[in-house]
Amino acid sequence: MKVILYIGHHKVGSTALQQFLAQNSFRLLENGILYPATESEGLSYMIAKATAGRDFDAPLSINIREPHNALAFRLMAQLDNHRMPPFHKAIPGPQQIKAILKNQFAILSPHTVLICSEVLANFGAVDPKLIDQLLEMFGDVDLEIYCALRRPDDYIASWHGQRLKFGHKLNRLSENGLDGYFNSIHFNYQKLLEPWIERCPKARIHLRNYTGILQAGGSTADFMATFDIGWPDNMIPAGRANPSLPVPLRDIARRGNHELSADQAQDLRHFLMSHRGQLDLPPDQDIELFGVENRQRMYDRFQPQEAFLRDVAGTKAFFPHLDEMLIPRPMPEAVAVMDALKQVIPLSHTASELPPAIPAFLDGLTAQYTGH
């Protein structure tokens, strides 16, 4: 049996890939490819598909769509200072999950098992023994590992935005908000990858540059092109998942996370996300978030990482246009935020779902940006 491990990274299309695999799990299994469940909801969904004899093109719960994120979180939750996130509910313990997987392998007899989780990217830094514990669940298999990496300036901008969307209280990347990333898997890609390479010496490593993934047609197209495992025809097409908060709205959310109550800040983030399509905003890639000095710091500190990635991938340059990290984007963040505020504030004053504190907060934020 072959096991293909997708170990991330974050913000490289993993949610879209997971959704595609979950939606097409029946057609995949007909062709001997298993996207295994890890808890009762996912198993019930598999039974419903088997009873109907088809896949369902319908919204999926997070446990069904991301069963292996649930697995990864459950393994990490055994450790001090880690716990299960509230959005994954009723997830069994590691030994029960191991039994659930073993039974699917034995009864369904797949030739290939797909384990897809960006959360696995954290294992090497959190505790490399988690990798060993995961591998024990599979036994003696033919192992391949797929990891997608994004140029660090683009990646950190996207990951920082994701954290703001989740309500984290962060500083601006143009100030000291960048510093906490340097020694993490979100910048130190060697910390992410090296423990997997050391613990899986026989595994074939597929290291993919996110630019190449986009050129191939996105995360699903690239993943399928990488592995010749007899993909079925006529699958439900991949859709977009996990939309990002547009860059011009992120500092509004950031300030709300700091200055509003938790419930009000969440209401503000939901309001910004739900109304983003009504706004005339500049492209995210045109807005500068770091500043010249921080771009230089990133570039200098990433050189050992680029050398490591070149060695692993066996290429002359893993990120061929790394020098572009040094080039600031044309629009200052403050200009983009002010333009967004001018459009957001009128909408907030007519939004019945918002508590009065939020329009008042936005009015005050405008005054702070204009210096009045």
Domain ranges of the chain: 2-151+188-226, 247-370
For residue 14, what are its two tokens?
Answer: 């993993």
Of 24, 72, 196, nearest to 124 by C-alpha is 196
pLDDT at 372 over 70: no
Pairing of strands 331-332, 204-209: unpaired
Of 27, 20, 71, nearest to 46 by C-alpha is 27
Summarised one tens digit per residue, pLDDT across range 36-46 is: 999 999 999 99
pLDDT at 342 over 70: yes
For residue 250, what are its two tokens?
Answer: 């992120």
Of 116, 307, 142, nearest to 223 by C-alpha is 116
Summarised one tens digit per residue, pLDDT across range 174-219 is: 999 999 999 999 999 999 999 999 999 999 999 999 999 999 999 9
pLDDT at 32 over 80: yes
For residue 371, name the pLDDT band (cuts at 50, 70, 90). low
For residue 108, name the pLDDT band (cuts at 50, 70, 90). very high
Query: What pTM was computed for the model?
Result: 0.95
Pairing of strands 287-288, 331-332: parallel
Evaluated on CA atoms 58, 61, 67, 69, the torsion sign reads positive
pLDDT at 169 over 70: yes
Q: How far apart are CA 13 and CA 84, in angstroms?
A: 23
